[in-house]
């Protein structure tokens, strides 16, 4: 099924690991903000091997090296912090900006991949520009 999507859309399937240089494999945790004090939380969790903490409106997004995944998870458990989501992800080392039409085509292909039952995750390095985000809302 995956091969047919690539063929239908004019792409090709690379060999296993051929794009590994584009992504870093990281542990990513989503923790609800709740009543946590951001500064105190960051100071306590950083010792577990956290590389980055991003605070959104309602959650902390914590990133760590793959080898620190277990330590960060254990520390969150010790702190009695509810983990909303914890998984290993591929994070692009750099993003690629495309013109609007090409970017929309890539997003349509991503949607097709995500509809395949056997596909668990789809990673890309497409830069999500404001223009592209606005076009998706239309």
Please write the tens of the pLDDT for every residue from 67-102: 999 999 999 999 999 999 999 999 999 999 999 988
- Based on DSSP, count helices (H) and strands (E) in the chain, helices before strands: 5, 4
Please write the tens of the pLDDT for every residue from 89-138: 999 999 999 999 889 888 888 899 999 999 888 889 998 888 888 887 77
Cα of first residue to Cα of last residue in the chain, in angstroms, is 29
pLDDT of 61 higher than 90: yes
Q: What is the per-residue pLDDT for 19?
A: 79
Q: Whole-angstrom Cα distance, residue 97 to residue 125?
A: 9
Q: Whole-angstrom Cα distance, residue 94 to residue 27?
A: 18
Over the Cα atoms of the chain, what is R_g? Answer: 18
pLDDT of 13 higher than 80: no
Domains and CATH numbers, the chain: 22-92 (3.30.70.980), 94-137 (no CATH)
Q: Whole-angstrom Cα distance, residue 46 to residue 18?
A: 33
pLDDT of 60 higher than 90: yes
Burial of 17 (0-12, 13-18, 19+ CB in 10 A): exposed
Query: pTM of the prediction?
Result: 0.78
């Amino acid at each position: 099924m995956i091969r047919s999507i690539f063929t239908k859309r004019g792409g090709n399937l690379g060999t296993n690991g051929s794009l590994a240089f584009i992504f870093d494999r990281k542990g990513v945790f989503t923790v609800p903000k709740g009543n946590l004090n951001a500064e105190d939380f960051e100071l306590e969790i950083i010792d577990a091997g956290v590389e980055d903490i991003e605070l959104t409106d309602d959650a902390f997004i914590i990133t760590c090296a793959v080898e620190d995944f277990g330590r960060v998870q254990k520390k969150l458990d010790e702190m009695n912090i509810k983990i909303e989501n914890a998984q290993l992800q591929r994070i692009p080392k750099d993003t690629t900006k495309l013109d609007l039409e090409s970017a929309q085509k890539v997003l349509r292909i991503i949607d097709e991949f995500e509809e395949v039952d056997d596909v668990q995750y789809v990673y890309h390095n497409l830069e999500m520009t404001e223009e592209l985000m606005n076009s998706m809302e239309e």
